[in-house]
Amino acid sequence: MRGAPYPYLSWTPAQSHLTVMSFELKAVGEKIDKLSEYLKNAKPRWKKMWEKELQDIVAEQKQVKEQDAVLQDYDDLQHKLESVFEQLILVRNVGRRAELVLSRADGVAMSCRTMTGM
């Protein structure tokens, strides 16, 4: 005796399998509904948190940019002060040379006076 000509047509799921699958489908549906409800309630809170965090990030970026600008100003000022310092050294050196020239000129003038009898 040969088997049924279409064995796949003779197979039908047992009622117990259908019952288990029905319960599992219902459980999955309930989990999906719970997750959906959770997301529906959580999204507004998350959005507020994300907005706050983004505002904090933007404020911190602004503060860093401001500090960078202040640092650049200090760097420019420091270079200007170095230039002034170098000029002060030059002024001091010129002043010393002028004193030396004047003191020599006074010495020459003094000796000229003594020679001429003044």
Task: Give pLDDT, residue 84.
Answer: 97
The stretch 89-104 carries a mean pLDDT of 87
Three-state SS for 11?
Answer: coil
9-13, 21-25, 37-41, 56-60: least confidently modelled range: 9-13
Task: Give pLDDT, residue 20.
Answer: 95
pTM of the model: 0.50
Task: Give pLDDT, residue 73.
Answer: 97
Say which residue, 31 or 10, is predicted with more confidence: 31
